[in-house]
Structure 1
Amino acid sequence: MQSAATGPRTPSWRVTSCVSRTGRASRKRGRCWRPEVEHAFLLLLEAASVVSLVYFLALNSFYALLLVLSVPQILKHWELFKDEELSGYLRAERLPPISVLVPAYNMGASILDSVECLLGLDYPRHEVVVVDDGSTDDTMAKLHKVYDLYEDAPTFEGPLKTQPVLGQYRSRTHPNLRVIQKANGGKSDALNAALCSARYELVLCVDADTLVEKDALLRLARTFLIDSSVAAAGATIRVANGCKLEGQRVVEARVPKTFLAGMQVPEYLRAFLFGRLGWNALGGNLIVSGAFGLFRKAHLLAIGGYNVHSVGEDLDLVVRLHRYLREKGIDYSVPFIPDPIAWTIVPDDPGTLGRQRERWHRGLIVTLIKNLRLLCNPRYGKVGMIITPFFVFGEMLAPLVEFFGIVLTLIGLYVGVVNVEFALLFLAACWGYGTLLTLAAVVMEEVTFRYYPRFGDFLRLVGFALLEPLGYRQATVVWRARAFFKALVGSTSWGAMRRRAFTTAAEGAR
């Protein structure tokens, strides 16, 4: 029992009282402030530290909820993944034809692999529309040579304006391949040109540095065949770096041995495997990856296609799609389907990766600010009341809260407002909790789809997940925090992106 003289003890994890530490703080700084100013400063510092702690406990607890919600769905799709009757869909008369849209700018290193992969998809009726967006490398020359292109009459119709089209071509060797050459206008402008030229009512948007698994289009289209209310659907993107390739296909998934590429594998698993899958139970997804997403063409034309002024064109498109369908009172869904797989080359140098993450977050900031009418607006249902608030407070603001939370905690330690136990608790809530969720995603991958069957790859996944808080996470926080300044000055630049061939990215796996 504690004596009356000592009184009750303050729990060791709590923020130390700013009043009792005032003298100590002044001595550490070597000078004295006016007592009321110092008291207010320390009180503010204490409050900010507590708010940061509560923020990350709440944020990671919501991620844990998404994990729990994703479990029944991943088990359901796991059964579909093993569906031996999938080939029967190839003979389904109602299977909708699909236009595959591929924007390409200076993609000479990977364009032939991507196009060959898309032409070889297991799907009864699909066309591939490649748009060369004013490339200055050999992208167009390679397409001309390999696919024996000849000039075709333009078929552009529709309300979307694009930069001038310089020519439209067909392939003599592959009748379902068309290539559009146009003046440079950016990825969104290229997609709008492809959208205007697309012949079919379902359009698949694919990046030119993406390899799509042979049955992925069939698995994704099955969703539209089963449910006519589906307006758009996203699928899983996995990291191609380090994988074994044969004939434009990933035949063996491997975890890269290089640090930056390897760090992104558990990151992608966390984002797609339970992050986006969990949103299916909460009203659908706000993001359909621009690297691999299937849409109803009529809806995209109704909202004016892609926004050519956006650096986050995929998020911007889906947010406007939600708004349009809600305002029109149309019954719809935007699910994430985990079993269709596409593989992408991720950046493996700090400069390219930093520019990519800064651009992604800048697109998130600008899109959410432009669509603040959705925030906590019951007119938009779960999109307004659950999804948008989370993306504003949980995704958009997270790098700022984490950056300043760390800085303020360090200052608090120095001046004596925060004790070591509280600082460790903050790190556990911010980084430790997140690491546990990443490990959970790795385990879910291992017990379900199990794309990485080698035990060495599993150990590397666990190792990268444990290493994430030791430098990599802090770098991503800085990159994303930098996006606020770029968004403030109105930057729409993508920055230089280093392109790599799939064969080069796959080196080092064996």
Structure 2
Amino acid sequence: MDIGAQASAFLVDYSPYLLILSWTILGIGVAQNLVYALQLPAAWAELRERSQAEDSESAFQLLISDVAMPISLVVPGYNEEATIVESVRSMLSLRYPDLEIIVVNDGSKDGTLQALIDAFQLQPVTRAHEEAVKHQPIRQVYGSSMYARLLVVDKHNGGKSDAINAGINLSRNPLFCVVDADSLLEIESLLSSVRPFMEDPRHMIAVGGTIRVLNGCVVKNGQVIQSGLPRKFLPLVQYMEYIRAYLMARLAWSRWGILTLISGAFGIFRRSVAVEVGGFTHGTVGEDYELIVKMHKHMRNQDRVYSLRYVPEPVCWTEAPETLKVLSNQRKRWQRGALEVFFRHRDMLLNPRYGKVGMLGFLNNLIIDVLGPIAEVLGYILMPLFWIAGVFSFDFFLAYVALFFAFGVFISVCSLILEELELRRVPRASDLALLLGVAIVENFGYRQLTNVWRIIGWWEFLRGKTSWGTMTRKGFGPKPGSEAAMTITPKNA
């Protein structure tokens, strides 16, 4: 019997089981898209109710008031020589009445520390602090002779979560904000982010802001002076992804009270609660996701009333990967982080003890993060083969294609429309047309590639891989000889 005949016999013998597998793949896809379909109206309602897009007067009143809660800005960095100085300059220019900036050099092997010393005239200082959460030993603490609110911590390498924990220990304010060293905050981003804490001072424990792609923007003196779309395809398609992930998904979860992820690139946390849960967990690449889940779990176990919120207006700009190698490392790491947190806290899944977070939030994570990539990749491979072999009809195959491709295009386009109607972050019609094209094209090749990377991330998780991988940065500082668009006034000027 030849191979073709053996394959045909196999399909005949096992066709009932293959049909069950096909329906399972289709069912997971239906569940995913049902979640997306429900998120769209919820995100729209949340934007209409809470938008601060045109509320500049409130931001100004908060700026000049004495009720704004003091914030410690914690900036963990490892080998960030290309971006660290410009990033810190951006933070020094933020409009906020009571702010300290704590940069934590996590044992960098490049010139990160020296760049900071040279740029801000750092000198060793003594800083009394409590060991509230665990981290690797601190080698030296530096203060700036130019900026009184800037503190730089040099410590032994322990990973991002370890570096953030060191910043938490040295912080002296009730709130701390974590910002990646390769990112830039908009000048009024903290004013927008802190407002939920002002509106609900007793119960608000964490607030997340929006992450946007910096590639294609003009940066001078630590600020984005002209926004623009990336010129390369990979950052451009990530621009569209970020719109969908932040504007649609997190707005919806915030409205439903089951937000389980605040990006480690830009989030504000109540220090006391973060300390109660032990700070950021070591040995995980999903430390931001892990912290929020620990906070939910801790507050529910203690029967304490609490709130978390996502606010779309405060923007943090970050450099997106421009090569397949770097992007694949990032996506595999994200997948590993999601799996680490899900399985570490799997007791929350469908557990009434944890309310909507356990019953809905973790169920969503099971569908999207755990089963989603497996179902999609199996579908790409098996569904065409099963149709050709006659396991199911052409109508079934057409339903599958419509579900995974046409609906994907629909969700991306609706997310773009939602952003344009409410936030108007893309000023030119030509840019909107380009993003519309990207929203369509990304579903035919790019989406499939990212799911393959997620499957590899699954395999790395099973093997116990914990490393971050390489994230190469081009840097966004002004070129030598260029004029700075803004001037930061030193304390002694």
Shorter-chain TM range is over 0.9
**Structure 1 residue 405: deviation in Å?**
1.6
What is aligned with 2:181? 208
**Greater shift in the superposed pair: 361-370 or 252-261:** 252-261
1:30 corresponds in structure 2 to 5
Cα distance change, pair 33–240 in 1 and its aligned pair in 2 (3 A) = closer
Deviations 1:180-221 (CA, angstroms, capped at 9, x unpaired): 001111111100111100011100000001110000101111
Q: How does 1:34-433 map to 2 (within 5 A)?
A: 38-228=11-201, 229-433=203-407
Question: In 2, Cα distance between the equivalents of 1:503 and 1:259?
Answer: 22
- Assess, with a 3 A threshold, how the Cα gap between structure 1 residues 504 and 346 changes in structure 2: closer, same or farther: farther
1:69 and 1:278 in contact (8 A); partners too: yes
C-alpha contact 1:284 1:335 (8 A) present in aligned 2: no
Unaligned runs of 5+ in 2: 480-493
Offset, 1:147 = 0.5
Residue 477 of structure 1 is matched in structure 2 by: 451
- Distance of 1:141 and 1:79 partners within structure 2: 39
1:437 corresponds to which of 400, 406, 411: 411
Q: CA deviation at 1:444?
A: 1.1
Total equivalences in the alignment: 478
Partner Cα separation in structure 1 for residue 329 and residue 109 of structure 2: 21
Residue 477 of structure 1 and its aligned partner are, at CA, apart by 0.3
Mean CA deviation greater in 307-316 or 46-55: 46-55
**2:253 alignment partner AA:** W
Distance 1:471 1:503, change over 3 A: farther
State the AA in 2 paired with 1:463.
Answer: G
Map Cα deviations across residues 372-424 of structure 1 (whole Å, 9 max, x no partner): 11000101111111111111123321100101122220220332213444323
The one-letter code matched in structure 1 to 2:71 is I
Question: Is 2:421 aligned against 1:464?
Answer: no
Contact 1:284/1:333 (<8 A) preserved: no
Query: Which amino acid is the alignment partner of residue 146 of structure 1?
Result: A
- Please state whether the residue corresponding to 1:192 is helix, strand or coil: helix
Cα distance per residue 1:322-355 (max 9 Å; x no partner) = 1001101111011111111111111010000000
Structure 1 pair 33–54 and aligned structure 2 pair: CA distance change class (3 A): closer
In structure 2, what is the Cα distance between the partners aligned to 1:387 and 1:273? 17
* Alpha-carbon contact 2:350-2:360 (below 8 Å) kept: yes
TM-score (norm: length of structure 1): 0.91
Percentage of identical aligned residues: 35
1:491 to 443, 446, 465: 465
> What is residue 5 of structure 1 aligned with on the other side?
none
Cα displacement (A) at 1:298: 0.5
Q: If you compute each CA radius of gyration, which structure gives the higher value, 1 or 2?
A: 1
Distance 2:52 2:119 in 1: 39
Deviations 1:473-500, CA, capped at 9 Å, x for gaps? 1110011111111111111011111122
Give the whole-Å Cα distance in 2 for the aligned partners of 1:353 and 1:28.
39
**Compared CA separation, residues 28 and 287, structure 1 to 2 (3 A):** same
Q: Contact between 2:11 and 2:391, CA under 8 Å: does it hold in 1? A: no
Distance (Å, rounded) in 1 between the aligned partners of 2:341 and 2:146: 42
Deviations 1:435-477 (Å, cap 9, x if unpaired)? 1111101111111211111111111111111111121111100
Contact 1:77–1:338, Cα closer than 8 Å, also in 2: no
**2:484 corresponds to which residue?**
none
CA drift of 1:28 comes to: 8.9
Describe the shift of the 1:54–1:28 C-alpha distance in structure 2 as closer, same or farther (beyond 3 A).
Answer: farther
Q: Distance in 2 between matches of 1:176 and 1:464?
A: 42
Distance in 2 of aligned mates of 1:33 and 1:104: 57
Q: Let me know the Cα RMSD of the aligned residues.
A: 1.8
Say if 2:135 and 2:165, in contact at 8 Å, map to a contact too: yes
CA positional deviation for 1:283? 1.9
CA 122–33 in structure 1, closer or farther in 2 if over 3 Å, else same: closer
Pair 1:501-2:464 in alignment: no
Q: Is the Cα contact below 8 Å between 2:31 and 2:367 reproduced in 1?
A: no
CA contact (8 A) 1:282 1:386 kept: no
Query: Is the 8 Å Cα contact of residues 74 and 101 (structure 2) preserved in structure 1?
Result: yes
For residue 64 of structure 1, report the CA deviation from its aligned partner. 1.1
SS at 2:442 equivalent: helix
Q: TM-score normalised to the size of structure 2? A: 0.94
Letter in 1 for 2:397: A
Question: Deviation of residue 46 (structure 1)?
Answer: 1.5
Change in 2 beyond 3 A, CA 1:382/1:495: same
